[in-house]
Structure 1
Amino acid sequence: MTKYTLTLSLVFLLQLVLSQESELKNIPGSRVFLVIPGGFKISKSTTGIEKSENVGIIVMDLRGGNFSSNAATFTEANWKSKADTVLCFKEYKIQGFSAKKVQIQSSGMNFTALIFGDSTFSAMMTGMAPIGDKSSIKQIEQALNSVKYDKTLKINSLKIAKFKLNTDKSPYKFAQHSSSMYIFTKYGEQTSEWDELSLVVSELPFEVGFTVEGLAQQAIIGLTNNGFEYEKLLSERSLVLNNIQAFELEVAGKMNEKDVIVYLLTLAKGDNSFTLMGIAKNDLKLEISEFKELARTIQLKY
């Protein structure tokens, strides 16, 4: 009788595990899998899942990233210096990968951030919900506890992108995708050298109250915070591309003590914004012309 009961228990546990595994869903645009809680759905505006405008989980899959360097500042002390309240912080393993997780409260919101990976990638998930929404907070915690990662999964990055560029007549070809960034380089070559020329397309949520002009200004501020020395505005103009209002900007400055020209094209539709950026570093006139020619072929898929 005891042996029979034990066998039934093992069968039940096996079925339960298989059932849980079958509920794992891939987050499009990433190698991350998780159990999607009731009421949540795959987000249309970012990589992740959402339940409402202010409840969801954002997923960033940094392939080619390094967990040790990317998680260096992900410490309990650092979070305590930024958040109103740190509810918990722990370091553990996910499928053998090093992981760190923190739950904080700030500005009326509850945030749970998880980062894990190895020397070849790092994945980060950020769950958010109002502090008073206990049910959603619990669902987010359960979803993050279910996370799995498949390093072998092949991703067709351009298929999931909400835009397309016509590269037929351009020397720039698609090279790689990381989180919300799509990188086009000369002949599609992948390199980490600073002098590599690239046109980077950032696909991000379009916040209420933002403008395409504001997107361009935000991009310049971001560059300035990362070593760009602004010198002067060369040109700016509003234009319409495929019936979508856009904004184009060129500014001169220095990076790494070298003269550069930054080219920007910004546009938005619905909940999504698109910022295309190229930094001319050598033959400035030719490179700006090539960036502009490719950027203006952009079409949105929706």
Structure 2
Amino acid sequence: MITKENILASAKKTILSQSESIAQLINYLSDDFAQAAELIYHCKGRLIVTGIGKSAIIAQKMVATFNSTGTPSMFLHAAEAIHGDLGMVQANDVVICISKSGNSPEIKALVPLLKRYGNPLIGMTAGLTSFLGKESDLVLHAYVEKESCPNNLAPTNSTTAQLVLGDALAVCLMEMRDFKSEDFAKYHPGGALGKKLLLRVGDMLDRTHKPIVEVSSSIKDVIMEISEKRLGVTAVMANGKLAGIITDGDIRRMLNKTETITGFTAQDIMTKNPKTIQTDSMVVDAFNIMENFSITQLAVFDKEEYVGILHIHDILKEGII
């Protein structure tokens, strides 16, 4: 009988089985792993990762991780390799070949061809004495005692082990290259992290809506400027210099205190010494200023020139925070 309890028990059993298999990988790490990392690190070409079946899918994920962390990589399907795709392997490339058994027909056909070209071959397999294990220059031992599959057939623990070894290798290479978050952002310019680390204030500033009034401007003119530019704020200038800012909140607070705006000027209600930021500053720094001072706008300058207003809504729309 299928029950919710049985389903949850099965899921927990699978997760526990996989976690135990991964923990055991530490015992199978050898000098070959360190040598593989050094070989890839000093590679003058690319890292080619190949496999068949489920291992091919793991190979694709590994390639994606390597590429995004500074190791130029390409995926080569083992079956397609012997039908023409082997041409993508160049003289200076290093090859990682993934196979649980190490004895798949496609692997047996591909490995001799790779060795004929002289490319260094790193095998990732559970079988040290398999064809792949014996023919590889270095072996990453992806051994698991059993699969989570109740029939011990479907690749589960074994593919997770391959994935983890690939991640471990990628992280080691990142540390060897002193790969920082700024480097990661270069390969992910469209993501939130890329924008957070690369986007500057000047890149997103709308310079066509630059609210500005003079210190002598009437409150009516201030209200019209704020309404027209639709940023909820205007800069107040005196002799070409920023003297202060006025927000729509300042207007409301003034109207709560007085029944008339006659006789008042921008200078009377402006906030002096407002927070500003330069166009070449990072957008994330602008957000931090807004957050620290509980404000929603910043006057933006290009060196000494006032060029516009950055609103917190602009930052939120970019999905940076």
Between structures 1 and 2, the one with greater helix share = 2
TM-score, normalization by structure 2: 0.22
With the length of structure 1 as denominator, give the TM-score of the two structures: 0.23
Q: Which structure shows the higher strand fraction?
A: 1
**Greater Rg over alpha carbons, structure:** 2
